[in-house]
Amino acid sequence: MLRACTLLGPNTVDPLDAVVRHLAGRGHRLEIVDSRAGVDLLWACGLLTAELIADGAELEVVAAPVFPGETEPVYRSVVVARRAGQGTRRLAVNEYGSWSGYQGLLRSHRLAPWLSGEIVISGSHLDSIAAVAAGNADAAAIDHSVWDWVVAHQPALVADLMVLETSDDWPAPPFSVRRSASARDLVDDLLSYPPAPNLEIVPATFDRYQFMKTAS
């Protein structure tokens, strides 16, 4: 039994389940797990993936998602705040190791000023949104694919929030497989995943993500 895992937001849970079912139809036996330890198919932040590979993880980037509304495998960060906000003194970020939540902003001349005040570490993009909605932070940096999912699935949570700024495009979080014969066998069938309203999968390589590790 092979193991699949997403370390991304709630918007990736159902798509990964659909991918695993697609692979099952091609004869691959996979289970979805919560930990990246020993995982054979990993869907994770580009920065984390680059760091894992640089540290010797037996992973190979093979594909990337095209999220709903996109024509290419890209994503971006949106800075959100309450419509009747009281300034932007406290910025919620999911973690310092997040590209869309922190590192990408840190390296953007346009968005870096959002990091000049107090930083509130929330633990997840969803928790960052909740922190702003509750008034525990004044703004938050959110993966746009997570933001779009929350707008569609939890509209009450974001009813009083608005997008203030949007980053440039970055390579979308990649799919990687473990460098073993059994995991490598997944690649062709992974790339045969039929385009769906919530996900399309296209080929990708590690070259697209190396700049994230260099930047960090």
Count of CB atoms situated within 10 Å of the CB of 117: 14
Mean pLDDT of 29-41: 95
Any residues with CB less than 8 A from the CB of 63 and at least 6 apart, and which? Answer: 174, 175, 187, 190, 191, 201, 202, 203, 204
Neighbours of 61 (CB within 10 A): 23
Over residues 161-171, the mean pLDDT reads 96
Confidence of residue 209 (pLDDT cuts 50, 70, 90): very high
Q: Compute CA distances 147 → 77, 144, 157, 198, whole Å.
A: 9, 5, 11, 14
What are the extents of the domains in the chain?
2-72+171-215, 77-168
Hey, what are 62's tokens?
A: 């093979």
The pLDDT of residue 79 is above 70: yes
> CA Rg, the chain, in Å?
17
Would the pLDDT of 88 be above 80?
no
What is the average pLDDT across 186-212?
96
Which CATH fold topology does 77-168 show?
D-Maltodextrin-Binding Protein; domain 2 (3.40.190)
pLDDT for 184: 82
Helix (H, G, I), strand (E, B) or coil at 209: coil
Q: What is the mean pLDDT of the chain?
A: 94
Cross-sheet strand order for the sheet of 139-143 = 118-121, 90-93, 139-143, 77-82, 161-166
Architecture of domain 2-72+171-215: 3-Layer(aba) Sandwich (3.40)
Check residue 213 and give its pLDDT. 86
Length of the chain: 216
pLDDT band at 87 (very low <50, low <70, confident <90, very high): low
The answer to whether 64 and 202 have CB atoms below 8 angstroms apart is yes
| pLDDT tens string 4-30 | 999 999 999 999 999 999 999 999 999
pLDDT value for 214: 74
pLDDT tens digit string along 89-123? 899 999 999 999 999 999 998 899 999 999 999 99
